[in-house]
């Protein structure tokens, strides 16, 4: 027969299971409330610098090239064809030395036509002088005849008046003689005025024709100069550059044929970032690295406008140039802006503008981690930046680009 059994009582095993479940829930809640682990960075992959105090020379730097202080461009004064080359680029030339021989038959014809026009104008001027002189002589003769006629008719009128008082001639005859005398007087006056007008117009007519001759002579001289320019000569002594023309090549008027430079008189043309160029002024000292030596110089010109984010600054070079310093050589220039005395500074971080605030990672005392701190920057130089707040002397900071850790306020350093 079946025997009824009493229900089992709870044992210690069941209690342990319950306690374990409660502990697991509590641990899950605790872990969920913890902050995520700080990201790690490799020590060898970052740049660390310390905060120091002392004097700092504030500088700006930019790339550039060496260019001649004086460049003489040689341009074609007329279109022509290259017939002969006497020199090549890089040759040293003397003043007046023939560089190229070019030809243009049309220009020769135009020059001859211009000279012919000058000769024709000179002949016309000579004829004008002769004609005017002849006209004056003719008019002077006419005036003399009119004067004689005027005297004769006046005397006849006086004689007729005397005869009329004696009733030897009629009144009609007297009036006729007086009319002739008046007519002769008027004709004499008119001829004299005509002579005066003719003499007065001589100077203006000759001046007009003389001006025409001078104008044509200037045109002919210009044509002769253009024809003479086909024999291209060096305007001054120096080194010839950019002579790339070939024999038989047609060169339009105004084309740059070559240029003559003075290789020993060079200057550096630097391209300074516009954010740094605002502090550059004339007379500031500079150093130019030619990669074969350092040359000192001074700022002599600053472009008033920025082009593609940079400002052009010209630096004159003092002292002899190192070997290999030639035009168009790439160089690096450093301009000294000012000297900062007894300031707190550190290396320049990857990002951060002057007189602004950025976040930098400052290393902890053990050096195994870095914490982001706000730092106020002052004046900047090429490799250093002034610290106005947020750091103290002796602190160590990370200068490398840490934008990938923008969401973290702490990093671990391995």
| Domain extents in the chain | 43-67+263-413, 72-100+230-261, 106-227
- Residue 309: is it exposed, middle or buried by C-beta count within 10 angstroms (0-12/13-18/19+)? exposed
Alpha carbon 197 to its chain's center: 58
Q: Are 63 and 382 a contacting pair, CB within 8 Å?
A: no
Parallel, antiparallel, or unpaired for β 40-41 and 410-413?
Answer: parallel
Secondary structure (H, E, C), 235-271: CCCEEEECCCCCCCCEECCCCEEEEEECCCCEEEEEE
Q: Are 280 and 313 a contacting pair, CB within 8 Å?
A: yes
**Three-class DSSP category at 206:** helix
Please report the pLDDT score of residue 297 as a whole number.
92
Query: What does the block give as tokens for 177?
Result: 């003689």
**Three-class DSSP category at 396:** strand
Distance CA 314, CA 392 (A): 39
- Residue 65: is it exposed, middle or buried by C-beta count within 10 angstroms (0-12/13-18/19+)? middle
Kind and range of the H or E element at 214?
helix 171-228
List, for the chain, all residue ranges whose pLDDT scores fall below the cut of 70.
Answer: 1-37
Distance CA 343, CA 53 (A): 5
Please report the pLDDT score of residue 4 as a whole number.
54
Ordered strands of the 250-251 beta sheet: 231-233, 98-103, 80-85, 250-251
DSSP lists the bridge partners of residue 238 as 93
Distance CA 101, CA 410 (A): 76
Query: What does the block give as tokens for 230?
Result: 């086909």
Query: What does the block give as tokens for 69?
Result: 């202080």
Please report the pLDDT score of residue 31 as a whole number.
44
**Three-class DSSP category at 70:** coil
> 43-67+263-413: what fold?
Elongation Factor Tu (Ef-tu); domain 3 (2.40.30)
For 72-100+230-261, CATH number?
Answer: 2.40.50.100
Please report the pLDDT score of residue 36 as a whole number.
59
Identify the residue whose tokens are 């160029």: 277
DSSP lists the bridge partners of residue 49 as 397
Please report the pLDDT score of residue 201 as a whole number.
85
pLDDT in tens, 175-196: 888 888 888 889 989 989 988 8
pLDDT in tens, 295-308: 999 999 999 888 88
């Amino acid at each position: 027969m079946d025997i009824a059994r009493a229900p089992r009582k709870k044992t210690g095993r069941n209690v342990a299971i319950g306690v374990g479940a409660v502990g697991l829930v509590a641990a899950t809640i605790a872990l969920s409330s913890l902050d995520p682990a700080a990201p790690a960075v490799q020590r060898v992959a970052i740049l660390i610098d310390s905060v120091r105090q002392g004097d700092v020379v504030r500088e700006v730097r930019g790339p550039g090239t060496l260019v001649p202080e004086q460049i003489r461009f040689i341009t074609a004064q007329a279109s022509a064809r290259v017939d002969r080359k006497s020199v090549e680029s890089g040759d040293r030339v003397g003043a007046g030395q023939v560089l190229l021989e070019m030809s243009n038959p049309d220009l020769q014809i135009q020059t001859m036509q211009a000279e012919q026009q000058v000769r024709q104008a000179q002949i016309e001027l000579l004829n004008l002088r002769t004609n005017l002189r002849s006209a004056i002589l003719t008019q002077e003769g006419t005036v003399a005849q009119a004067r004689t006629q005027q005297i004769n008719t006046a005397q006849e009128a006086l004689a007729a008046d005397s005869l009329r008082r004696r009733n030897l001639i009629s009144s009609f005859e007297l009036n006729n003689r007086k009319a002739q005398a008046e007519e002769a007087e008027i004709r004499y006056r008119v001829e004299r005025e005509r002579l005066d007008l003719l003499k007065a117009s001589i100077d203006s007519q000759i001046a007009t024709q003389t001006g025409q001759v001078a104008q044509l002579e200037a045109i002919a001289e210009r044509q002769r100069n253009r024809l003479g320019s086909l024999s291209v000569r060096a305007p001054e002594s120096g080194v010839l550059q950019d002579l790339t023309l070939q024999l038989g090549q047609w060169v339009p008027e105004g084309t740059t044929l070559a240029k003559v430079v003075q290789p020993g008189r060079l200057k550096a043309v630097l391209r300074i970032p516009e954010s740094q160029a605002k502090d550059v002024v004339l007379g500031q000292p500079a150093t130019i690295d030619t990669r074969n030596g350092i040359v000192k110089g001074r700022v002599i010109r600053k472009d008033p406008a920025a082009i593609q984010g940079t400002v052009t600054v010209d630096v004159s070079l003092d002292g002899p140039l190192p070997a290999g310093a030639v035009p168009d050589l790439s160089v690096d220039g450093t301009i000294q802006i000012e000297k900062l005395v007894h300031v707190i500074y550190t290396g320049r971080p990857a990002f951060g503008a002057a007189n602004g605030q950025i976040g930098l990672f400052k290393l902890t005392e053990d050096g195994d981690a870095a914490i982001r701190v706000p730092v106020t920057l002052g004046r900047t130089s090429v490799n250093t930046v002034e610290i106005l707040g947020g750091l103290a002397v002796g602190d160590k900071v990370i200068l490398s680009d840490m934008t990938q850790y923008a969401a973290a306020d702490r990093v671990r350093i391995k």
